[in-house]
């Protein structure tokens, strides 16, 4: 048994783990602005271009549950280190890719290692800050980074694409990986779940294939919700998820103990995180298209124009952190989605006019609203989770974000395509683009309104459960 981390070391550990969260979240969007340049360089078709985004989110979201269990059983620091090294190598391959297939495969491999990295990082955070005011602060920082990561990816992608190359949107990860590995060696301690740990192989297979089939089915909806392939993959996905749930009730050590997701507060947090992921990953992509294709911004200008969103989150987060300690999570989780929905409705009124008039204010308001969601969200997702389930609960929270983002992007794309409709394969006229983007923003606003209803129904209970500090119990350290 090792001694607990000192106060200063714990905060350095928080910095390392927050950096990790930033990397895995921003990699979902950092290539968005660079996609036009990558498409030309590697001669990608429009369909293949979309998979540069989808391959990462699909592999990441579908494998997160397995990654969480590996972290719990094999060791969270060990899993973190393997995930970091693999993520760096996959990023190097993608940055040096000479064909569209290589780039898409590298993005998928990034998602595989991110599925190890993300749950290990959140589980390490949970056991490093098990309770008290420090846990409140740590999760506020971590949640803010998670909430701002997608928009930061857009801004950073614009800067790298403008001044260097689209390839640096992948190669930049190597610097993050080096810092993460050194930081882990210096500041992180190993921990794992105690007891007899066996892997739920059939559960892992069914949930991975089920989530993958669902996401792929939604991605095909762009070509029509009634197409046989769309219906087939969605039906297979639902059937496999149902089979997975049945398996989890029969095995001694399930991949996802149903107690993790049937807890009302946690279930609500997972659902809200899925909706928020759809907005941060899906809606921001269409914002990027509007800035570049309608407003004529360069990659750098579009990236910088996206910054008010994460800045709004970062400025508001300290205020929300203080409110969280005073009033609990429920009022914040209701208010946040309503504010974001209002901002998206404002954004849906775009006409192609001046950025300062039509886009700036909605982005600031959206960022502020996201702070109300993401500051308490990670803590609620792990409320009352026993130490043995810390990794899998962390994985479920991250999986909700990624799968929600993947499905949201597919749904928004289908809505956009139905509005733009008859203009064919060529670039539609500006008015058609604006109508399509506006419809996507309205759909995102509806999703956030639903998230507010979820918060009203699910995020309720004794006041002490709505304030951080009731998380995982202590775990064995080695």
More confident residue, 2 or 60: 60
* Residue-wise DSSP of 363-391: HHHHHHHHHHHHHHHHHHHTTT--GGGHH
Specify the pairing of strand 191-192 against strand 476-477: antiparallel
More confident residue, 57 or 117: 117
- Any idea which of 101-105, 140-144, 337-341 has the lowest mean pLDDT? 140-144
| Selection from 199-208, 444-453, 458-467 with the highest mean pLDDT | 444-453
CATH number of 8-199+255-477: 1.20.1250.20
| pLDDT value at 320 more than 80 | yes
| pLDDT value at 475 more than 50 | no
Residue 60 has, within 13 A of its CA and on its CB side, a CA count of 30
User: What is the chain's mean pLDDT, rounded?
Assistant: 79
| CA end-to-end span of the chain | 5
392 with 75: CB under 8 angstroms?
Answer: no
| Selection from 4-8, 268-272, 391-395 with the highest mean pLDDT | 268-272
Output the pTM of the full model. 0.74
| pLDDT value at 452 more than 70 | yes
Share of the chain above pLDDT 90, in %: 9
Confidence of residue 47 (pLDDT cuts 50, 70, 90): low
The helix (H) or strand (E) run that includes residue 428 is: none
pLDDT tens per residue across span 390-447: 667 767 777 787 778 778 877 887 787 777 765 544 556 777 778 888 888 888 899 8
Share of the chain above pLDDT 70, in %: 85
More confident residue, 473 or 45: 45
Tell me what pLDDT residue 76 has: 83
Confidence of residue 474 (pLDDT cuts 50, 70, 90): very low
110 with 86: CB under 8 angstroms?
Answer: no
414 with 221: CB under 8 angstroms?
Answer: yes
Separation between Cα atoms, residue 46 and residue 230, nearest integer Å: 19
360-381 helix and 264-277 helix, angle to the nearest 10 degrees: 150
Q: Which residue has the tokens 């994985």?
A: 395
Q: What are phi and psi of 234, to 5 degrees?
A: -65, -45
Separation between Cα atoms, residue 95 and residue 20, nearest integer Å: 19
Can you tell me the mean pLDDT for 454-476? 58
Q: Which residue has the tokens 């952190």?
A: 321
What are 309's two structure tokens?
């969103």
More confident residue, 474 or 152: 152
Domain segments of the chain as ranges: 8-199+255-477, 200-254
């Amino acid at each position: 048994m090792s001694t607990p981390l000192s106060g200063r070391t714990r905060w350095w550990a928080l910095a390392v783990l927050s950096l990790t969260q930033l990397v895995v979240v921003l990699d979902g969007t950092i290539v968005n602005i660079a996609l036009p340049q990558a498409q030309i360089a590697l001669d990608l078709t429009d369909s293949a271009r979309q998979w540069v985004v989808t391959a990462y989110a699909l592999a990441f979201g579908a494998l997160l549950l397995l990654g969480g269990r590996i972290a719990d059983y094999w060791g969270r620091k060990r899993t973190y280190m393997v995930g970091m090294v693999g993520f760096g190598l996959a990023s190097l391959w993608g940055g040096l890719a000479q064909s569209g297939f290589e780039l898409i495969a590298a993005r998928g491999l990034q998602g595989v290692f991110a599925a190890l990295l993300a749950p290990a990082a959140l589980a390490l955070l949970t056991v490093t800050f098990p309770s008290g005011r420090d846990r409140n602060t740590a999760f506020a920082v971590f949640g803010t980074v998670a909430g701002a990561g997608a928009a930061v990816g857009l801004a950073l992608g614009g800067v790298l694409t403008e001044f260097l190359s689209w390839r640096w949107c992948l190669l930049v990860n190597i610097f993050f990986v080096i810092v993460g590995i050194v930081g882990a060696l210096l500041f992180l301690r190993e921990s794992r779940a105690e007891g007899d740990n066996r892997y739920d192989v059939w559960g892992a297979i069914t949930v991975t294939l089920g989530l993958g089939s669902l996401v792929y089915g939604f991605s095909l909806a762009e070509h029509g919700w009634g197409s046989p392939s769309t219906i087939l993959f969605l039906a297979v996905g639902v059937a496999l998820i149902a089979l997975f749930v049945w398996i989890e009730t029969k095995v001694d050590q399930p991949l996802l103990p149903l107690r993790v997701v049937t807890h009302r507060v946690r279930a609500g947090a997972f659902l809200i995180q899925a909706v928020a992921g759809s907005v941060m990953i899906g809606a921001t992509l269409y914002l990027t298209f509007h800035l570049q294709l309608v407003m004529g911004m360069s990659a750098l200008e579009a990236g910088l124009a996206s910054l008010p969103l994460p800045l709004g989150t970062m400025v508001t987060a300290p205020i929300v952190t203080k409110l969280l300690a005073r009033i609990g999570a429920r009022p914040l989780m209701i208010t946040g989605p309503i504010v974001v929905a209002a901002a998206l409705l404002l954004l849906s009124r775009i006409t192609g006019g001046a950025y300062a008039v039509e886009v700036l204010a909605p982005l600031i308001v959206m960022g502020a609203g996201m702070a109300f969601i993401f500051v308490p969200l990670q803590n609620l997702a792990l409320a009352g989770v026993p130490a043995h389930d810390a990794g899998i609960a962390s994985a479920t929270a991250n999986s909700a974000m990624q799968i929600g983002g993947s499905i949201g992007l597919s749904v928004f794309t289908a809505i956009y395509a139905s509005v733009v409709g008859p203009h064919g394969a060529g670039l539609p006229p500006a008015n058609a683009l604006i109508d399509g983007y506006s419809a996507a923003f309205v759909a995102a606003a509806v999703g956030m309104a639903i998230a507010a209803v979820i918060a009203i129904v699910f995020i309720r209970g004794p006041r002490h459960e709505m304030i951080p500090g009731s998380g995982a119990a202590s775990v064995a350290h080695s």
